[in-house]
Amino acid sequence: MKKSKRSIIFFALISILLGFNIFFTVVAFQLFPTYGGYSRQILFIKPNEDTGQAGYFIMVDELSPQARNYDIDWLLHSRGDLKVADDRKSVSFKVQSYVSNDNITLNATFLEPIDAISSEEGIFCPKNYDEGNNYPDIDTTYIKARYSGANHPLMSTILYPKNDSNTAQQIPEITSLPDGLKKIGDNDFLYYRDERASVQFSSPNIEFDGELFFIRRNNTNTSKIEYCFLQEAKYLKFENNISFQSSEPLTNILITYFNSSQISGYINGQNSQVQIFCPFIPEMIKINGDNTTISYANNLTTLSISDSCSFVISNSDKYYNPEKNQLTEPIPTPSMPTKDKWGINMNLFAGLTHPYILYNNSELEDLRNKIADSNKPWNNWTDTYIGDIDIELARDPEFYEDDQRRHAVYKLALDFTLNNNASVLNKLKEYLLDMGSITHYSADLRRAKSVEAYAIAFDMIYQNLTSNERSTIYNLLYEHAEPLKRMDLYHRNNHRVVDAGALGLAGLVLQDEEMINIATETCLDYFYNQNPADGGSFEGYSYMAFAFFHMSQFTTGLKRLGAFNFYEDDQILASYDYMAETLGPLGMPGSFEDCTFDRDIQEVLLFAAAQVNNTSPKRAARYQYIWEERQNNSQYISTNDYGYLLGANPSFHRILLYNVNETIQSEPFESRKEVWKASSMAYLRSGDTDGLFMPFSCKNYDQNHPHQDENSFELWAYGAYIANNPGYPGWGEKFHTWSQSTEGANALLIGGSDQLQVEANGLSTSISAPYFSIVRGDGTELYNDLGSFAYSPEPFILLFANMTILALCGVLYVLISRDISITSESIEKIKQKFKPSNFKDEVSSSQIPQQPSRKELVKLSYTHPFQVQEVLFEERYFEKNWKFLNRTIHLFLGGLLISFFLISCVDVTNTIIYHSQYHEDKYNLVFDILPYVIMGIYIIGSLLMGLLIYGFSKIYGRTNRLTVNKIAKTQSISIDNEKLSSLSTLSFLWIFPIIIFTGVLMLFTTVQDLKVAIHGLWTELNSINDVYDIMVSVLIGVIYNFGWIMLFGIPFIFLASWIFARGIKQLSERKISSKRIWKSPLIGYLLMFVVLFLLYMMLYIAFKSVFSLISIEAIVN
């Protein structure tokens, strides 16, 4: 049967819309890929000084099932000279040690085949510096070792650092034995696979049931094990001795034969009977330090374990059990102090006279004597710091930019305090009285640092000011500090702490309760609610140190007043401890995220040492040690070239905040924690300055400026920084400060892709011991886009729903279009049954004017949508009024939608304007053109809203005309197209409740979410990924609103359909039934939703495409 032209047009339209849906679905799956991820396990075989065995690392990378479909690039960055082996089995980097003239080589040997190794140029940025102020090692090299994920789901790599000056140390020979056994050197054996299996080897004789083992054979008796690590294991037999067996597979177990009289280790597992080879009759067995019943037979000791535990088997009452799993320790749950504890008591200021922040008049003479004593470090610090005071006296305040004045203010304030020089006082007054000339700072941090300097200087010279000068400076300082009270304007990271430090210090000087309390609460919020509970940082050491530095004068002032003591707060002390305990050789941190080799780290620890010296002298001694370690780097010749190793120069803060009478006696750490559960970081180490140190990151929380570098590591060896993470200022263009790329980390690229998520799943297992450590990071989802179906199914469901709606439209059209045979006799019966008079009586439920005015016509369209059709379709009246009615309805609906749009825009732009009060210099152009952008959005957006309504009206009307004319043709009925158009518009009017509901819903949900997102972009923006995540969350919220809109609109859609059907029934003189034609407007409405959803998906995909195609480089540049 030949298809009609109208059917062809309709199904062509359906096909086009379906094609767009399929296209967007395919594009969405491409834009939101799922590459999987990998877990990385590091085995640290620590040096054994007794046997002369050097330390090295084994890295086992296990791909997730999805990642195995792609090629993998294994990345390694180094400051050294690269050498690639001809057989592509190994690479090596050679770097000179910082602490000697020794050359240090890092050899990386791949235990699985590598398809290709390429080298690329990288950068090393230990601090944020500009071109022309760089170091000789800025240009570095990195390698990409490519292998097949399908063929090698596990890749093991041996990282062996070697001091080339030590002729006794040789890179061990690595031999691949049959059935997957690897021999490393003479006595180390490694086996691994991705699932548990039973295997047997002949040389040495090993039987094993599990996934992985590392065995170190005894150096003198090769039939014995020195220690072994087993994973997912049930059984191990070594040289005909059953070494271990378990009733259930254990996650992992470490067993060491510490000496002839003791066996110790650690078990990660649950509810199992574990038997361990014991060559002696045990006299004592301890599990987690508690004695347990001895069960011994056939050289096997049986341990009944219910959970992870340490164990010792000894033939005496003496034991040593160093093995531990720090991941089993409970994460602390610090509770931020309440206001009744930290709120300032203004009575503390009673009777105080300035100065009182860092010292008082009774202490001034002792301070001067201490600094004058040439045998004390304060003397040299002060001479160095204010030695150029004559230069400052010769300069006017206008010489400096806004926040740079603070440096002169600090020097002048200190010099006057010590020397009581009138010319210095006058110059300092000049700076303070000129505060009013700076009416705007380009960033809150610049204001804060200036306020901090002005406030402390005001306190220090207060007694030397006239009453008029005091009043003037008081008012100027208050005006300068007051904007900092609006903390919701600023980033909820270290920025707020710096702002709070300045605000609080000003509050102490001005004795302003509100300022002090805002500042105290803000500082506590950062350490309690932003950072990990164990004292780590969600930003990196340098930013936490920056925060500490600029809050130190305020917190010291509070402590001296007897107010809230930050230096006795557990969470604050945990943060100081974390910094001190996790630093690497030479006092250097790992450069994960934006962490630099910042000198503030050691400085703030020195300030804290002075504050905790009386209450926690051992802690103070360790902080002192860390500071001295960094300062002592000046002894190394290498610092002539690598100045980033040096400690900080003397400062105002150090001279006055290190407020002890004698230098604190330093004391090194006895031992350092390796695994930090809440921070999800590991710091594997052996030795100190010239030892081995590997920081490892697998963070499972949101971070500030993340670099997509989870499951990456760095390595220090024998005084050389040999494997580095480019870190801050990042990766890519030299001297660029905001780059992010997994390719800039010692991690993996999967299918060429960077990590697409910020948060890994964290550290999953660990064991730490003096001779061996193991840690495993779970990053199995890092390379899955958060927009993919598994994480954000809503857009995909919307597309699938759209295709379902299109199919429903096709079904409805077929039902309308099916042939119905109606004889002339049937038509006559219908005519007799439904006479015009009867019809009038039936539909006229009330009297309406026969020739209503246009105003009455519009009113009747709302109040009597069925009856108004009878009047409207009267020929003469219709000719005069139908166009007016159509225009009025379109203008009403368009105006309604535009009104809600403009109300929403005003709400949103008010938020933008509020937050744009302070901004950085590089964004000045953005804010200069912001009013024009807002006006453009208002105008263009309004036009688009109007076009949207007009377009939907056309879709609705054309669909109705198509279906009605299709039926009319089959029944030889003629319906006037103008009346059909007017009827469509009349029924389309009843979309207005849906528009009102949509406007209100969007205003109270999406618009508010958008305002929160905009607030977040200003105050909690951590990375470019955050911009994407925040905006996507808003867009996904719109999808849920679509569901509510459709549910709300159902009765009104059916009402409009019935209005249209009754009108067609009238126009066709009952030849087209309402039951048949009501489906036509339903198709129109469904097609409107289809088009709306498609337009939305275009916006959603375009937004993602922008973030996929434009990197942070392009945005910042």
Residue 850 CA: distances (Å) to CA of 123, 853, 860, 862, 873: 85, 10, 12, 17, 11
| 524 inside domain | yes
Q: Write down the residue that tokens 């200022």 correspond to.
A: 729
Co-location of 230 and 367 in the same domain: no
Among residues of the chain, what percentage have pLDDT more than 70? 92
Tell me how far the alpha carbon of residue 489 is from its chain's centroid: 20
Q: Is 400 a residue whose pLDDT tops 50?
A: yes
Asked whether the beta carbons of 543 and 492 are under 8 A apart, the reply is no
Of the pLDDT bands very low, low, confident and very high (cuts 50, 70, 90), residue 878 is confident
Count the Cβ atoms, other than its own, within 10 Å of residue 330: 8
Tell me how far the alpha carbon of residue 508 is from its chain's centroid: 35
| Nearby residues of 364 by Cβ (< 8 Å), 6 or more positions away | 355, 417
In tens, the pLDDT along 956-990 reads: 999 988 888 888 777 777 888 888 888 899 999 99
| Nearby residues of 332 by Cβ (< 8 Å), 6 or more positions away | 533, 534, 574, 678
Q: Is 1078 a residue whose pLDDT tops 90?
A: no
Co-location of 295 and 379 in the same domain: no
Query: Alpha-carbon distance 1105 to 1110, whole Å?
Result: 8
Mean pLDDT confidence for 595-617 = 94
Number of domains within the chain: 3
Co-location of 869 and 919 in the same domain: yes
Total count of residues recorded for the chain: 1117
Co-location of 199 and 348 in the same domain: no
Co-location of 295 and 391 in the same domain: no
Query: Alpha-carbon distance 824 to 1008, whole Å?
Result: 62
Final residue belonging to a domain, choices 277, 307, 328: 328
Query: Alpha-carbon distance 394 to 392, whole Å?
Result: 5
Mean pLDDT confidence for 623-628 = 98
Which three-class secondary structure state does DSSP give residue 184? strand
In tens, the pLDDT along 1087-1112 reads: 999 999 999 999 999 888 776 655 44
Residue 207 CA: distances (Å) to CA of 179, 191, 244, 257: 12, 11, 10, 19
Query: Alpha-carbon distance 484 to 498, whole Å?
Result: 10
Q: Is 827 a residue whose pLDDT tops 60?
A: no
Co-location of 324 and 343 in the same domain: no
Pairwise pLDDT comparison (133 vs 674), residue with the higher score: 674
Query: Alpha-carbon distance 414 to 367, whole Å?
Result: 11
Query: Alpha-carbon distance 246 to 209, whole Å?
Result: 10
| 14 inside domain | no
| 685 inside domain | no
Q: Report the mean per-residue pLDDT for the chain.
A: 90
| 257 inside domain | yes
In tens, the pLDDT along 371-388 reads: 999 999 999 999 999 999
Asked whether the beta carbons of 633 and 587 are under 8 A apart, the reply is yes
In tens, the pLDDT along 310-320 reads: 999 999 988 88
Query: Alpha-carbon distance 423 to 421, whole Å?
Result: 6
Q: Is 127 a residue whose pLDDT tops 80?
A: no
Asked whether the beta carbons of 1063 and 1038 are under 8 A apart, the reply is no
| 920 inside domain | yes
| 401 inside domain | yes
Co-location of 295 and 387 in the same domain: no
Q: Is 676 a residue whose pLDDT tops 90?
A: yes
Co-location of 297 and 353 in the same domain: no
Q: Is 1040 a residue whose pLDDT tops 60?
A: yes
Residue 395 CA: distances (Å) to CA of 383, 428, 430, 712: 20, 11, 11, 49
pLDDT of residue 729: 45
Least confident of 58-72, 713-727, 819-833: 819-833
Co-location of 255 and 367 in the same domain: no
User: Which secondary-structure segment (H or E) carries 245?
Assistant: strand 241-259
Final residue belonging to a domain, choices 305, 328, 351: 328
In tens, the pLDDT along 275-322 reads: 999 999 999 999 999 999 999 999 999 999 999 999 999 999 888 889
What is the C-alpha R_g of the chain?
38
| 831 inside domain | no
Query: Alpha-carbon distance 420 to 436, whole Å?
Result: 26
Co-location of 491 and 562 in the same domain: yes
Asked whether the beta carbons of 371 and 382 are under 8 A apart, the reply is yes
Per-residue three-class SS string for 672-698: CCCEECCCCEEEEEECCCCCEEEEEEC
Among residues of the chain, what percentage have pLDDT more than 90? 69
630: containing domain: 339-657
Report if pTM > 0.95: no
Mean pLDDT confidence for 492-515 = 96
- At position 882, the amino acid (one-letter code) is W
Tell me how far the alpha carbon of residue 59 is from its chain's centroid: 26
918: alpha, beta or left, given left = phi > 0 and alpha = psi -120 to 50? Answer: beta
| 701 inside domain | no
| Nearby residues of 587 by Cβ (< 8 Å), 6 or more positions away | 601, 602, 626, 629, 630, 633, 647
Final residue belonging to a domain, choices 602, 635, 657: 657
Co-location of 322 and 352 in the same domain: no
Count the Cβ atoms, other than its own, within 10 Å of residue 18: 18
Co-location of 294 and 366 in the same domain: no
pLDDT of residue 727: 53
pLDDT of residue 919: 57
Asked whether the beta carbons of 404 and 441 are under 8 A apart, the reply is no
